[in-house]
């Protein structure tokens, strides 16, 4: 499996849209780094591309302080192939709880089983969000 290289110390002042594939080992560290170093980020899209027999790596830890983009600019958060595992839920909850300007959060579960899909989405909808006007959608 490929290791993700983090662009430590680089500030992405003009980055407003980030589309990140979440299968490579270390993607959670890259996401944390990109959130911290992209103060104008408005759109965040995560895509879980998993392969049969392999699971999405875990290990994400929240940043030590809330990134500026969550406090001032992030408007849309999308997660395609959302699997609802503990680390995924924690990461999604962190974004929802700290994104003050968030307007929409769209989750497209990878599961086609209706019961599992409903449980995942019900859990996300129960999270208290920082933005009073955010809409949590099922994609």
pLDDT bracket for residue 93 (50, 70, 90): very high
- Sketch the domain layout of the chain as residue ranges: 17-128
Whole-model pTM: value is 0.84
pLDDT bracket for residue 52 (50, 70, 90): very low
Place of tokens 């270390």: 26
Closest CA to 35 of 82, 78, 99, 86: 99
């Amino acid at each position: 499996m490929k290791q993700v290289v983090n662009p430590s110390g680089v500030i992405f002042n003009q980055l407003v849209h980030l589309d990140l594939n979440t299968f490579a080992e270390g993607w959670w560290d890259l996401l944390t780094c990109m959130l911290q170093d992209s103060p104008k980020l408005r759109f965040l899209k995560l895509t879980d591309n998993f392969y049969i027999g392999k699971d999405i790596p875990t290990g994400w830890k929240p940043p030590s302080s809330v990134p500026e983009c969550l406090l001032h600019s992030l408007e849309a958060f999308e997660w395609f192939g959302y699997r609802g595992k503990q680390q995924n839920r924690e990461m999604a909850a962190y974004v929802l709880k700290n994104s003050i300007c968030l307007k929409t959060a769209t989750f497209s579960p990878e599961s086609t089983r209706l019961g599992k899909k409903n449980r995942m989405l019900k859990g996300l909808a129960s999270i208290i969000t920082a933005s009073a006007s955010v809409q949590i959608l099922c994609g």
